[in-house]
Amino acid sequence: MSSIGSKGALAGLAAFAAAIVLAPFLLPDYYQSVLIVAGFFAILSMGLNLLLGYAGQISLGHAAFYGLSAYASGILTATYHWPVPAGVAAGVLLSGVTAALIGIPTLKLKGHYLAMGTLGFGVIVYIVLNEAVGLTAGPSGFTGIPRLSAFGRTFTSDREYYFIVWGIAFLLFVLAQNLVHSRMGRALRAIHTSESAASVLGIDVPRYKAFVFVLSAVYAGIAGALYAHFVTFVSPGSFSFNASVQIVTMVVLGGMASLWGALAGAVFLTVLPEWLRAIENYDILIYGAILILTMRFLPGGLAEGACRLLSRVRRLFRGKKADAAVLPDAGREDA
């Protein structure tokens, strides 16, 4: 992908903001809760993309951070009557601190071993959520979580919630974008390419890895707390191994090392099942097939596919000469 100049970046951000504002007016009303759920996954996959896409470290247990924060915020506000903002803060903090603690030994593992380490952590958290019945209400799920509120105002309508979730997603996007274009981002990419080479260059590899791990857990924690106060109910099933795999799938399908890709993957995979509702029963096959075909024909994920499409459209607008040059190329790709 071409490097993003500040002008291009600003245009992108403006387009993103416009899309957030316009979506609820352009789409039918019943899409609101789909888009809210997509917002949770967008935050989750942006966070995981920092870790997986940029730093090249896999996590198959990311749903654990999502769940820890959701449960912590839910329990503190419902059982212990904390104010909601305090519960959310505590939930996010718990995710971050847990990541710092388990990150130190886990990130020493490499490749598939790291995948296993994070998977094992996810399984352990899942079991604790199931078994600590006194605290979490166990497999039946934890009920009675209050809706999100702040400054003495409770946000009950879905529309308000939509703007809150996507507003936060937007801020987190800007934060992540600044990060990946900083010194930090370059260091992470160096680690992705080769850890030994990076450390020879004087990059403190374990520290950078731990930092990005904690940051991605904080993103997951924010998504988790927002989720808990939206659904007002949490159960362990939402934070299982399957959920972790789903987040990884969103990142890879959207496009590794691309924040736009993380957004695209999250929104696409959340909305897709809604489109597939019409073909009841066979939806699962189509879902699997789309996963395989996207990876087959869009190696760089949805983001790269969209970029290619965009540049082709641009070339088309440049007049007849360019047009003639483009067409055979287009024909070949479609075949």
Our CB check for other proteins shows the closer of 8 and 299 to be 299
- Give yes or no for a contact between 234 and 141, defined as CB atoms under 8 angstroms apart: yes
Our CB check for other proteins shows the closer of 112 and 207 to be 112
d(CA 248, CA 77): 30
d(CA 42, CA 219): 10
Where does residue 13 rank: exposed (0-12), middle (13-18), buried (19+ CB within 10 A)? middle
Contacting residue, 241, 307, 315, 326, with other proteins by CB under 8 A: 241
Our CB check for other proteins shows the closer of 19 and 291 to be 291
**Binding of other proteins at residue 235 (CB under 8 A)?**
yes
Our CB check for other proteins shows the closer of 91 and 146 to be 146
- Give yes or no for a contact between 54 and 212, defined as CB atoms under 8 angstroms apart: yes
Structure tokens, 285: 């096959």
Closest distance to other proteins from the beta carbon of 151 (Å): 22
Helix (H, G, I), strand (E, B) or coil at 165: helix
Our CB check for other proteins shows the closer of 232 and 315 to be 232
Query: Phi-psi region for residue 149, left (φ > 0), alpha (ψ -120 to 50) or beta?
Result: beta
SS3 assignment for 246-264: HHHHHHHHHCCCCHHHHHH
d(CA 227, CA 208): 29
- Residue 142 forms beta bridges with which residues? 234
Contacting residue, 26, 278, 292, 324, with other proteins by CB under 8 A: 292
Q: Which amino acid is at 202?
A: G
Residues in contact with other proteins, shown as a per-residue x/- string from 246 to 265 under the rule CB under 8 A: --xx--xx--x---------
Q: Footprint of other proteins on residues 156-185 (CB under 8 A)? A: 156, 158
Our CB check for other proteins shows the closer of 67 and 89 to be 67
Q: Footprint of other proteins on residues 8-47 (CB under 8 A)? A: 28-30, 32-34, 37
Where does residue 26 rank: exposed (0-12), middle (13-18), buried (19+ CB within 10 A)? exposed
Structure tokens, 224: 């988790």
Closest distance to other proteins from the beta carbon of 141 (Å): 5
Contacting residue, 15, 194, 316, 330, with other proteins by CB under 8 A: 194
Q: How many chain residues interact with other proteins (CB under 8 A)? A: 74
Chain centroid to CA 326: how far?
35
In degrees and rounded to multiples of 5, residue 142 shows phi and psi of -105, 125
**Binding of other proteins at residue 108 (CB under 8 A)?**
yes
Our CB check for other proteins shows the closer of 200 and 310 to be 200
Contacting residue, 182, 204, 287, 330, with other proteins by CB under 8 A: 287
d(CA 38, CA 308): 24
Our CB check for other proteins shows the closer of 12 and 283 to be 283
Closest distance to other proteins from the beta carbon of 169 (Å): 17
Contacting residue, 110, 207, 314, 318, with other proteins by CB under 8 A: 110
* CA-closest candidate to residue 4, choices 187, 249, 257: 257
Q: Footprint of other proteins on residues 51-90 (CB under 8 A)? A: 52, 56, 58
Q: Footprint of other proteins on residues 118-157 (CB under 8 A)? A: 119-121, 123-124, 127-128, 130-131, 133, 138-141, 143, 156
Q: Which stretch binds other proteins (CB under 8 A): 4-12, 64-72, 282-290, 302-310?
A: 282-290
